[in-house]
Each structure stands twice: as structure tokens, then as C-alpha cells.
Amino acid sequence: MRPQELNLLMIFDAIMTEGAITRAADRLSMTQPAVSNALSRMRAVWGDELFVKDGRGIQPTAFAKNMWSQIQTPLSALEDAVNPSQFDPATASRTFRIAATDTFVDMIWGPLRQVIEREAPGINIYAVPNPSIGSADILKAAEAELAISKYTQSESVIRSEHLLDPGYVVVMRPGHPLAQQQLTLEKFIEADHLLVSLTGDATGPTDVALQSLGKKRRVAMSVNNFFNVPGLLKQTDLICAAPSMVLEREIFSKQLAVFESPIEVSPTPVSLLWHKRQDHDPGLQWLRRHVAKIVHQRVEQHQQLLNQHCRKSYCEQAVRDAKAQHHYDCISQVCEQLDTVPDVASPAR
């Protein structure tokens, strides 16, 4: 391979990584016209357009995507061999951006700052807004080095490390009529619910769980963040099914009564995310270790305290009965359409 072709590959990799000519130029310490001229040479040498305009940005062609998938690993190994990365927390001067919600900023920033003051005084940590979807796009655009998010996709350029599975509880004001008795499945369904919906959707994980039982609750009010939840619950008869960690301050100070959810709500795992291009970045590896350690310790402490405060209400038999009834009703509907009689015993009501 000619030296100039290797240089073009390095510039091509930077454009693919950054997703923009300007950011690639900054990354390579080159001028934007120099990168644009290099791109013109690539198109002539490789016989493909490589990138096409998409609004204000650019999108790689299929040829570019395929070539990048083949050269990333060799280029990374070559760069590590020529410029081995070193990171000494005690002397490093660097800024890391983490995309995180208010809940995780509250959980992580204090302990992380203590670590920095003790081990790495030259490190800065900046919080970046983290939308409910789009964490991968933030990392691809190099707007942050890390993201803490619910991540259920699978992309070759995004790496992830599992952090926690948020457990759902039911909270209400201590003087709520339901707080004086056992929270059964029936009473839970009959109550007026407050829903936290970051997207504006009127359904959540609890509604999905109820649908599997053939049940439906009334969402009487919704908000788009957890900050408003404690105040609303304290002055109303609303109840709220939510991850316990986002309301732990009010739960553990007994400002809100807390119950186990009467149904099992499948949690969406929360992960620590980063881009493949920084797999071997020792500075980011150092930061990832500390963030993961802080979250794991906090989750363990939270669960111990929650066990002391949370009142039992999971109605296992009631859920089984509801599932059986829903199954029977579904079979009956199908049989009615076929004008037959189901050969299944109706569950006891």
C-alpha cells in the first residue's frame, strides 16, 4: 500500500467516526478544505461517491460502510502500535462528557467528584442531556464519551456494559386510603394513576404487564419527568408505579408510602454505553470502571434500605387467576367466531 493511500484511509476513518467533514478536520488537526480535497481523491481512487448529503449532515454509501467495517480493526491496531496510549489519572488533564438523566447525575456525580479530587484533580466531568431515545446517536456524533441509558438495540459500533435493572414499586402519600391496607391487584387497578412518560405516550411498562392479564388501569394524569411526582402524590389521591431508585429520597424519609407492585413489571435494563472507537482509550476505561463501581454500590445500598421500607403486596395467586381468566376469555372469543364450544374449564372466579 502506498503511504498516500494509508493517509487517505486514516482521513476516511475520521470522517466515518465523526460523521462530518468539520469534526473530522478538528479530530485530525487539519483544515476543512484539506479534508474535502482528500475526500475527492478517495472518490477518484476507490471509484465510489462514499458520502452523500443528508440535510445538514452526510451519510456513508454501502461501499463506505462495508470498507469501514474491514479497516477499523487493522487501523486501530496500527495506531496503538505506533502511538501507545497512556493515562495517568494523577497528571491527566482531560474533559469527559456523560449523557445522563437527572436521576443518574444525582446518583453518580457526588461520589465521582470525590474520586476525582482524590485521584485525578485535572479531570473535568460535564453532563450532557440524554433523551429517552438517541443515546447511540449522541455517541456516534461524538457529543459525549459515555451515555447511561436504557439500551435495547444492537449496533456494531456501540459498546455496552449492564449497570442495573430498575425495580418498580407503587408509591402514594402516607395518608392515602390505600396506604392503610393491603394493596391488592383489584384495588391497584381501580385507583387513579399518575404516569411518568418521557415521550408523552399514555402507556408504560405497567400497562404492558396489565394487558397480559387482560386488565387496564386508569391513567388519570401524566407528567414528563420524575421531579413533579412527589409533590403531586403528597397533595392528591393519585398513586404511581415507578422505579424505586428515582424516588428513594422520599421513600426512605417516609414522605411517601411504598408497596411492592401487585404485578410483575419487566424492567428495561440500564447500561453504560460508549462508541467502539474508544474501546482502547485508557482514560475512558478508567472512568467506566469508577462509574460502574459507583452505580453497583448504590444499587446494593438502595435494595437493602428498600427491603426495610417496602410493604409486601405482590398478589401471586391473583395474578395467576387473572392470567388463567384472560387465557380462557381469549379462547372463548376465538371459539365464538368459529361457532364452537371451548373444551377448557372456566377458571374459578
Task: Check residue 336 and give its pLDDT.
Answer: 58
In a domain? residue 310 = no
Tell me, yes or no, whether 254 and 175 share the same domain: yes
Average pLDDT of the segment spanning 73-78: 72
pLDDT of residue 49 exceeding 90, the answer is yes
In a domain? residue 122 = yes
- Higher per-residue pLDDT: 264 or 170: 170
In a domain? residue 200 = yes
Task: Check residue 274 and give its pLDDT.
Answer: 94
Phi (first) and psi of residue 335, to 5 degrees: -65, -35
Tell me, yes or no, whether 140 and 201 share the same domain: no
108 band by pLDDT with thresholds 50, 70 and 90: very high
199 band by pLDDT with thresholds 50, 70 and 90: confident
Instruction: Show which of 56, 82, 108 is a domain's final residue.
Output: 82
Domain extent, residue 143, equals 94-165+269-302
Give me the DSSP letters along 148-175: EEE-----TTEEEEEEE-PPEEEEE-TT
DSSP type of residue 49 = -
Tell me, yes or no, whether 122 and 181 share the same domain: no
Tell me, yes or no, whether 247 and 195 share the same domain: yes
In a domain? residue 87 = no
Tell me, yes or no, whether 253 and 175 share the same domain: yes
Tell me, yes or no, whether 130 and 51 share the same domain: no
Task: Check residue 326 and give its pLDDT.
Answer: 46
In a domain? residue 308 = no
Tell me, yes or no, whether 177 and 261 share the same domain: yes
Give pLDDT tens digits for 254-291: 999 999 999 888 888 999 999 887 888 899 999 999 99
54: domain CATH number is 1.10.10.10
Residues 5 and 81: their CA atoms lie apart, in Å, by: 19
At position 150, the amino acid (one-letter code) is K
Domain count, the chain: 4
Nearest by Cα to 347 from 315, 312, 323, 311: 323
Residues 184 and 314: their CA atoms lie apart, in Å, by: 8
- Higher per-residue pLDDT: 192 or 202: 192
In a domain? residue 307 = no
Tell me, yes or no, whether 53 and 198 share the same domain: no
| Contact call for residues 144 and 99 (beta carbons, < 8 A) | yes
DSSP type of residue 178 = G
Tell me, yes or no, whether 209 and 326 share the same domain: no
**Residue 290 C-alpha from the chain's centroid:** 18
Q: Tell me how many degrees the CA angle 312-318-320 measures, rounded to the nearest 5.
A: 115
Q: Tell me how many degrees the CA angle 174-175-178 measures, rounded to the nearest 5.
A: 85
Tell me, yes or no, whether 110 and 148 share the same domain: yes
Residues 105 and 114: their CA atoms lie apart, in Å, by: 14
